[in-house]
Structure 1
Amino acid sequence: MSGRWSEAVRTFGRRSLAGQFLAFQLLVVVVVLGAVAVVSVAQSTNEFRDVRGARMLATAENLASTPVVRDRYADPFAAQALAPEVDRAVALSGAELAEILGPDGLVRASSDPSRLGERTRVGAAETGRAWFGDAEVGGVRSLLAQVPILASDGRVLAIVSVSEPYPSWWALLSGAGERLLLYLGLGAALGMVASWLLSRRIKRHTRGLEIAEIAGLADHREALLHSIREGVVAVNNDGVITVLNDSAQELLGLPDSAVGERVDSVGLESAVVDFLLAGEDDRDVVIATRARVLALNRRSATSAGQDIGTVTTMRDSTELAALQAQLSSHKSATDTLRAQTHEFSNQLHTISGLVQLGEYDAVRAFVDELTQRRAAINDAVTRHISDPAVAALLIAKTTLAAESGVSLQIAEDSHLSPLEPGLATDVITVLGNLVDNAVDVSVGSAQPTVTVRVCDTPGLEISVSDTGPGVPSHLRDSIFARGVTSKPEVAGGRGIGLALVRMVTAQHGGSVEVSDRPGGGAVFTVQLPRTRVGAHA
């Protein structure tokens, strides 16, 4: 039996999704119709018991009050004498059986002569009370009513018993009326039609795929999504995150619970939130968070011609940004050498011309002037900056700034002791990017000047001011996370440089901020904690 049941379950499982749904729906219809039938039978049974019970009790009372019954209930020939009366009671009431019983339950007269002399159940009537209820009569569940015939002193002389068997469930269901059967039939027909139509609709929307195929596709999708090295974030039209793979969680620092939450409520930085909600489609953009530099690309997602949201992919470009910073440093050194080469070439040409003219005193004066100028530049930097790498950077930047017509000055209260190599590298990255930005925005101003202030007590503070147009207050936070497109026609500006400044500063547990310079321009200030500044004596 169990084998056949297992085979039936396997056979059902091999049916199509629409077929299984149709079968389940039909089963539901059958169960509902069965429940309606059970309720209808129960109601008909209760109605039969109440109505027919009262009728049986009235028939028994009427038979018990008949004079001939009261006079001859104990007659030896009571069966023959009272037969007309019990038959009449059966005929008038529609009962199945009418009997006259002795107080002990012995049948003295009955509409069924075969029951004479038998004993039957005597209920509450033996106590002198009339009653009706359920009882087994001749092995059949019947509705039984009994009324006692009492003496003047209250003794029970005889009992009149009238009974009728309960009808079958089909008779009770049929007795509920043709309308009920009609409604049940219509309900079954409509249920089957609706189930068939719904199964067809499900099959159409699932594109004919079955349950196992849908489950396989879902598992395959999840496996692919979470194994992709790039981060993937899907956002619907309401700004709610619907897909977030493992890489995106790591890059954005989000938990699994972020799925189903709004983008602007999970703690993302404002630049990332703005891009996910309103970024430009099909455009690579670099955004710097406090810990990473991310390259993002956003595209709209559609289904059946309807816009359902966006999908954003992201890559970790932190190492690439660091390499870009190193390349920028090398380029700065190269530019410095180029500028110095150009300057030295001009100076050599001048000296050569003076020698050819025999102006040896002028040559000596010219060389002395160049030596003093170079010494002044070196002294202006090394007098305040003792770390050789940082000092070399500032000397090179001074030469480059001069070539662009910008004066690079070191604040008189600057002081920097030698740094650990690792910290010196980060300081060069921060200072180099800040100086480059300051020089770029100062070109063309009335008195183009960049002032650098470096102080290592307490902690390490780097301040770079420029004479450019300044930074509006509403951009002072987003400027450090501004996206830089990979397309060359719009690349440039402050871009990744300031993003690197913030990232390096955050890695040291410090801060960076922008303020206004008195007289116009901007001041970028970097603060690093004292515990992170490792200096040598």
Structure 2
Amino acid sequence: MVATFRRHSLAGEMLVLQLAIVVVVLLAVAAVSLAQSQATFNRVEGRRVSALAEQLAANPLVRSQLVRPAPGEALAPLVLATQAQSGVTSVTVADGAGRIVSSTNPTVIGERIRLGPGSARGRGWSGQFTLDGNRELAAQVPVLGATEENLGRILGTVMIGEADPTVWQRLSGASSYLLAYLGIASGLGVAGSWLLARRVKRQTLGLEPGEIAGLAEHREAMLYGIAEGVIALDPQHRLTLVNDMGRRLLGLPEDCVGQSLEGLGIDGRLRDVLSGTAAGERDEVVVRHGRVLVMNRMTVTKDGRPLGSVTTLRDRTELARLEREIGSFRSSSELLRAQAHEFANQLHTISGLIQIGEQDEVVRYIRALSRHRQSLDVTLSRRVRDTAVAALLMAKASLAAERKVRLRISDDTALERLAPEDAADVATVVGNLVDNAVDAAAARDDAWVEVALRQDASSVEIVVRDSGPGVAPELAREVFSHGFTTKAAREGERGIGLALTKLVCERHGGEISVANTPEGAVFTARMTVSHLTGTVAEGAAP
């Protein structure tokens, strides 16, 4: 038969431990009480037996009988009377030769008295003494002669002893209320231990140590095994937990747990999202150390009491890079779609004119379309030599025309051919800025967007103006760190167009800014690039 043992609960173990502590404390109190009682006994009783011994040694009867033969018969009544009156344990009288002549214990008469260190040298002495296996507090005083014949001579020794009290006698003698005090202390200790065990049980939600350890292990495995960053804050905005991915994405030090957001230098948009100051929408976009982060914050409460918050972070930088890489393909497809729509409208117009017999009007219409297309093509090919950027602007012009927005190229635009990787990044910046500008201007009458590209020996400046309402002043300085588009700046929607634009500019050692004019918003981006021709186009602004 296999014996099974029931494991004690955490509350039970705490109760047993606390009871053991109470017992140890009670034993320590009892030991201190015994030590104090012993010290009091030695001090008080030592003085009393010493005084009794000195009094008996100075008794004339004792002095006179010790110089006579057989003094025991005369001293016996005095010895017994001294014991009866003082309540001491023993009274002993020895002659000058050290033989006991009278004692309350008749069995020791005739034996030699044991002298203490002081009595052996003719002085009084008091201390612990063992007689017949019993420990006593004894005082020994020499009997000195008082007559002319024996003046100053030691005639004998008087010893009076008081037996040490038992442990029970010491405890009862320490204080009449000691047992009551110990009982009350024991009751309070037991009650406190029981309450503490119950509180521990509630604080641990009824979980045992093994279960708590298992939960901690599972939490560590979960937090450090997921690909997303996790950061937890308490109500005072101090970090209570962060996994490796979260620390890497936010650029936090190893000892960041326990520090506040201010102490870690987290401010601006990131602080607003982590602390809950920002709008509580999901998928908040934040730019941090060149990364586009998507953050979701959840407030944690228990029984209506706030415990803090948990925020998850996802890195969308790689996704943004892929979006930028397919931007050229998207632009080409959009261009084809817009041109197909435009050509279909033009063919419908030509078909209608032919059906009503207006052949001359058909010719004039076709010539006007041809001049407009040639004018746009010539303008772009003359001012923008880079084919990727020129093709993008052609596509954006068709898309803008669909939304009744006129896209025009500034007269001072001059851009030479760029290295392929630089051309892709310049196209990304131009495309994002033009898209935002078209969104902003589309709601206005006679809407327009103007693009200016200027290049010097090492950099390109991109300026996009629009006839929209502009950017709200309170968002003008933070619109890029928030990851808003111009539409988001007006309506509070989410977007990462300008965040991508800022990342591209910063990667090329440049910057981007926004300003408001009476006509609308002006976005200015600067980037360091290299060109293929080795020269700057004439008329380019530095």
TM range (shorter): 0.7 to 0.9
Trace 1:314-353 onto structure 2 (pairs within 5 A). 314-326=313-325, 329-345=328-344
1:7 aligns with none
Trace 1:389-404 onto structure 2 (pairs within 5 A). 389-404=388-403
1:183 aligns with 181
2:461 aligns with 461
SS in 1 for 2:388: helix
Q: Write the letter of the residue equivalent to 2:124.
A: A
**C-alpha displacement of 1:213:** 1.9
For the pair 1:82 / 2:92, whether they are aligned, the reply is no
**C-alpha displacement of 1:349:** 6.2
Q: Which moved more, 1:50-59 or 1:400-409?
A: 400-409
1:72 aligns with 65
Q: Which moved more, 1:66-75 or 1:402-411?
A: 402-411
Alignment partners' CA distance in 2, 1:367 and 1:237: 70
Change over 3 Å in CA distance of 1:193–1:253 after alignment to 2: same
Trace 1:402-417 onto structure 2 (pairs within 5 A). 402-417=401-416
**C-alpha displacement of 1:498:** 0.7
**C-alpha displacement of 1:184:** 0.9
Q: Pick one of 511, 527, 532 that aligns with 1:536.
A: 532
**C-alpha displacement of 1:102:** 5.5
1:480 aligns with 480
2:224 aligns with 226
For the pair 1:134 / 2:133, whether they are aligned, the reply is no
Alignment partners' CA distance in 2, 1:123 and 1:103: 17
1:145 aligns with 139
Change over 3 Å in CA distance of 1:163–1:407 after alignment to 2: same
Q: Write the letter of the residue equivalent to 2:221.
A: A
Q: Write the letter of the residue equivalent to 1:500.
A: L
Per-residue CA shift, 1:13-45, capped at 9, x if unaligned? Answer: 932212211111110110111111111111111
Change over 3 Å in CA distance of 1:204–1:408 after alignment to 2: closer
Change over 3 Å in CA distance of 1:48–1:127 after alignment to 2: same
Per-residue CA shift, 1:377-403, capped at 9, x if unaligned? Answer: 334334443332122222333343344
Alignment partners' CA distance in 1, 2:144 and 2:459: 117
Maintained 8 Å contact 2:484/2:498? no
2:25 aligns with 32
Maintained 8 Å contact 2:63/2:145? no
Maintained 8 Å contact 1:144/1:163? yes
Alignment partners' CA distance in 2, 1:132 and 1:274: 83
- Structure 2 stretches of 5 or more lacking a match? 534-542
Q: CA RMSD in A?
A: 3.5
SS in 2 for 1:296: strand
For the pair 1:235 / 2:233, whether they are aligned, the reply is yes
Maintained 8 Å contact 2:115/2:140? no
Change over 3 Å in CA distance of 1:113–1:510 after alignment to 2: farther
**C-alpha displacement of 1:141:** 3.4
**C-alpha displacement of 1:65:** 1.0
Maintained 8 Å contact 1:484/1:491? no
SS in 2 for 1:234: strand
2:167 aligns with 169
SS in 2 for 1:239: coil
Trace 1:508-527 onto structure 2 (pairs within 5 A). 508-517=508-517, 519-527=518-526
Change over 3 Å in CA distance of 1:103–1:311 after alignment to 2: farther
Alignment partners' CA distance in 2, 1:112 and 1:423: 120
Change over 3 Å in CA distance of 1:122–1:445 after alignment to 2: same
Maintained 8 Å contact 2:465/2:522? yes
Maintained 8 Å contact 1:515/1:522? yes
Per-residue CA shift, 1:291-349, capped at 9, x if unaligned? Answer: 22233333332324544333333322233333444555544433333333344445556
Per-residue CA shift, 1:207-243, capped at 9, x if unaligned? Answer: 4432212222222222223222233333333333333
1:495 aligns with 495
Counting matched residue pairs gives 518
**C-alpha displacement of 1:415:** 4.2
Q: Write the letter of the residue equivalent to 1:418.
A: R
Maintained 8 Å contact 2:297/2:309? yes
Alignment partners' CA distance in 1, 2:96 and 2:467: 126
Per-residue CA shift, 1:59-82, capped at 9, x if unaligned? Answer: 011111100112233444233332
Per-residue CA shift, 1:429-457, capped at 9, x if unaligned? Answer: 12210121122223316673423233244
- Structure 1 stretches of 5 or more lacking a match? 1-9
2:438 aligns with 439
Alignment partners' CA distance in 2, 1:104 and 1:367: 158
Maintained 8 Å contact 2:247/2:253? yes
Q: Write the letter of the residue equivalent to 2:16.
A: A
1:19 aligns with 12
Maintained 8 Å contact 1:230/1:314? yes
Q: Which moved more, 1:136-145 or 1:88-97?
A: 136-145
Change over 3 Å in CA distance of 1:95–1:492 after alignment to 2: closer
**C-alpha displacement of 1:409:** 4.1
Q: Write the letter of the residue equivalent to 2:475.
A: L
For the pair 1:121 / 2:115, whether they are aligned, the reply is yes
Alignment partners' CA distance in 1, 2:461 and 2:28: 83
Change over 3 Å in CA distance of 1:96–1:340 after alignment to 2: same
Maintained 8 Å contact 1:146/1:159? yes
SS in 1 for 2:384: coil
Alignment partners' CA distance in 1, 2:87 and 2:456: 116
TM-score, length of structure 2 as denominator length: 0.83
Per-residue CA shift, 1:138-194, capped at 9, x if unaligned? Answer: 444322222233457755443322222221222101212341111212222332233
1:253 aligns with 251
Change over 3 Å in CA distance of 1:135–1:507 after alignment to 2: farther
SS in 1 for 2:265: coil
Alignment partners' CA distance in 1, 2:359 and 2:448: 39
**C-alpha displacement of 1:276:** 2.5
SS in 1 for 2:139: strand
Alignment partners' CA distance in 1, 2:427 and 2:394: 12
2:538 aligns with none
Change over 3 Å in CA distance of 1:506–1:105 after alignment to 2: farther
Maintained 8 Å contact 1:280/1:298? no
Alignment partners' CA distance in 2, 1:35 and 1:226: 49
Change over 3 Å in CA distance of 1:15–1:342 after alignment to 2: closer
Alignment partners' CA distance in 1, 2:331 and 2:492: 16
Q: Write the letter of the residue equivalent to 1:398.
A: A
Maintained 8 Å contact 1:293/1:318? yes
Change over 3 Å in CA distance of 1:50–1:465 after alignment to 2: same
Q: Write the letter of the residue equivalent to 1:475.
A: L
